[in-house]
């Protein structure tokens, strides 16, 4: 599913990733931990085709990161960032309809997934009026609607209350059981013991520990 060999990512001459070697198999759950600035978000962005590989080699879902079509790669991954999702001036429903129509997906399932993430009462509210946790749930509803092969979740537990965290743990288990590959970045190890993730620790833009 994912293979990186000595992957380096630069930004303005600074190495965000300084040589990452990584192999992930399909249907696995991995947690990337590390201090601030260790390169967690950069690694996720590289896997999602959102930043270019500066040197080294890599393939994600069979697409070469150096020579492949990154637009095709992006269409096959799901991204949940910690900054929010989609357009602030559109409602939850409008954002999801835009995304579904862009990918040619049916829009009938929108109400179902919105109910699943607990946003039904906010479905016609503009995104900028949502709280940070509710925005995170909007991002999740989009992933549920899309069901991508590779889920990239950047600090998904931030801004979630206890109920949200429990819901999220349950969802992760379900997604992995369904055959998708999930990579989560987090400051702390996952709370749920039932998930048994592989834990990768990043420091200085490299993986310094890998515990299965």
Partner 1 sequence: MIRIAWLVAVKDLRIEARSRVLLWQVLPFGAMALLLSGLALGPTHAGHSTAGPGLFYLVTLFVALLMINRSQGIERTPGTRASVATLGLDPAGVFLGKTLALAIELWVSGVVLLCGAVLVLHTALHGALLALPSIIVTLGAMAAAGTLYGALTSGGEGAATLLPVLTLPAFAPLLISGERSFSAALNHGALWQWWVIVVVALVAYLGVGILLYGVLEES
Partner 2 sequence: MMKQLSQRLLGPVTLALLTLTFWLGMWVTPPDKVQGDLVRLVYVHPAIAWVALYVSFGTATIASALYLWKRTRSMVMDRVAHCAMEVSVVFIILTLITGSIWGRPTWGVWWAWDARLTSTAILGVLAVGYLALRRANDDPSLRARRSAVFAILSAINVPIIHFSVLWWKTLHQGATVFTANRTLLIHGIMAWTLLISFIAFTLLFFWLLRARYRLEVSRDQSRSVALATSLEMRRREGAI
Part of the chain binding partner 1 (CB under 8 A), chosen from 16-24, 28-36, 45-53, 164-172:
45-53
Does 13 participate in binding partner 2 (rule CB under 8 A)? yes
Cα–Cα distance for residue pair 55/10, rounded to 1 Å: 9
Contact 122, 130 (CB under 8 A): yes
Does 85 participate in binding partner 1 (rule CB under 8 A)? yes
Does 15 participate in binding partner 2 (rule CB under 8 A)? yes
Which listed residue (158, 177, 208, 211) binds partner 2 by CB under 8 A? Answer: 208
Category of 112 on φ-ψ map: left (φ > 0), alpha (ψ -120 to 50) or beta? alpha
Residue numbers 121-150 binding partner 1 by CB under 8 A:
126, 135, 139, 142, 148
Residues that bind partner 1 (rule: CB under 8 A) add up to a total of 34
Residue numbers 42-81 binding partner 2 by CB under 8 A:
52
Residue number, 125 or 201, with CB nearest to partner 2? 201
Residue number, 18 or 59, with CB nearest to partner 2? 18
The structure tokens listed for 107 are 């829009």
Does 211 participate in binding partner 2 (rule CB under 8 A)? no
The angle subtended at Cα 26 by Cα 64 and Cα 211, nearest 5°, is: 100
Q: In DSSP terms, which residues pair with 145 in a beta bridge?
A: none
Q: Which does 79 bind (CB under 5 to 8 A by kind): partner 2, partner 1, none?
A: partner 1
Does 159 participate in binding partner 1 (rule CB under 8 A)? no
Residue number, 79 or 157, with CB nearest to partner 1? 79
Q: Name the pairing type of β-strands 198-203 and 29-33.
A: parallel
Give the containing element (helix H, strand E) for 138.
Answer: helix 132-146
Q: How many CA atoms lie within 13 A of 19 on its CB side?
A: 1
């Amino acid at each position: 599913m994912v293979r990186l060999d000595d992957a380096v990512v630069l930004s303005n001459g600074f190495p965000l990733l300084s040589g990452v070697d990584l192999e992930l198999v399909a249907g696995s759950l991995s947690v990337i931990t590390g201090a601030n600035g260790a390169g967690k978000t950069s690694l996720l962005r590289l896997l999602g085709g959102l930043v270019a590989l500066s040197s080294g080699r890599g393939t994600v879902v069979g697409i070469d990161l150096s020579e492949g079509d990154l637009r095709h790669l992006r269409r096959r991954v799901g991204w949940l960032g910690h900054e929010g999702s989609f357009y602030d001036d559109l409602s939850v429903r409008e954002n999801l309809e835009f995304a579904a129509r862009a990918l040619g997906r049916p829009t009938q399932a929108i109400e179902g997934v919105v109910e699943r993430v607990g946003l039904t009462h906010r479905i016609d509210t503009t995104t900028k009026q949502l709280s940070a946790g509710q925005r995170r749930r909007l991002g999740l509803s989009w992933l549920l609607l899309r069901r991508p092969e590779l889920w990239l979740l950047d600090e998904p537990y931030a801004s979630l209350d206890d109920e949200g965290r429990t819901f999220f743990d349950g969802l992760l288990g379900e997604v992995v059981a369904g055959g998708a590959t999930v990579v989560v970045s987090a400051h702390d190890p996952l709370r749920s013991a039932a998930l048994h993730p592989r834990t990768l620790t990043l420091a200085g833009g490299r993986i310094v520990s890998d515990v299965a």
